[in-house]
Amino acid sequence: MQTLAPYYLLIKALHVAFMVTWFAGLFYLPRLFIYHHEATDAPSRERFQVMERRLFAIMTIGAVLTALFGLVLIAVNPALLRVHWFQVKLLLLVGLAIYHYRCFVWIARLKTAEPGDDSRWLRWFNEIPVVFLLTIIILAVTKAF
């Protein structure tokens, strides 16, 4: 993979660009879940189902391309795997992948659920990506340990 070394910064830029796409979806999809959960009429619920499905597809493409470019970066610079801050980042990415999957589960759940009036859990669920993003950025920028 050393043949890609001259393109390292371009690959990193693409990694960050697709990460932004992924996180845009992770930030907005749970908000759609809240609106969907609180919708009382069938046309609104159907509209939210379409929006959720489409956004999930776009953010999944962003996630896959983020991972692909991240793996290329690791292949070009395997020393990253021995750095503690990067190991923590990888662990956080596993958590983020689980969160992404839970979004998929919520899409299926809301498709069959009756509208409800308690969306408190979804409001908390909506905030989780912020914690992941801030922690990952702080680790990547400061390389604290």
Give 80-136 pLDDT, tens digit per residue: 999 999 999 999 999 999 999 999 999 999 988 776 667 889 999 999 999 999 999
Give 7-47 pLDDT, tens digit per residue: 999 999 999 999 999 999 999 999 999 999 999 899 999 99
Q: Which domain holds residue 29?
A: 2-142
Assigned token pair, 16: 């960050």
Domains in the chain, number: 1
Long-range contacts of 48-57 (CB under 8 A, 24+ apart): 48/110, 49/107, 49/110, 49/111, 52/107, 52/110, 53/107, 55/25, 55/28, 55/29, 56/25, 56/29, 56/103, 56/104, 56/107
Assigned token pair, 23: 């996180």
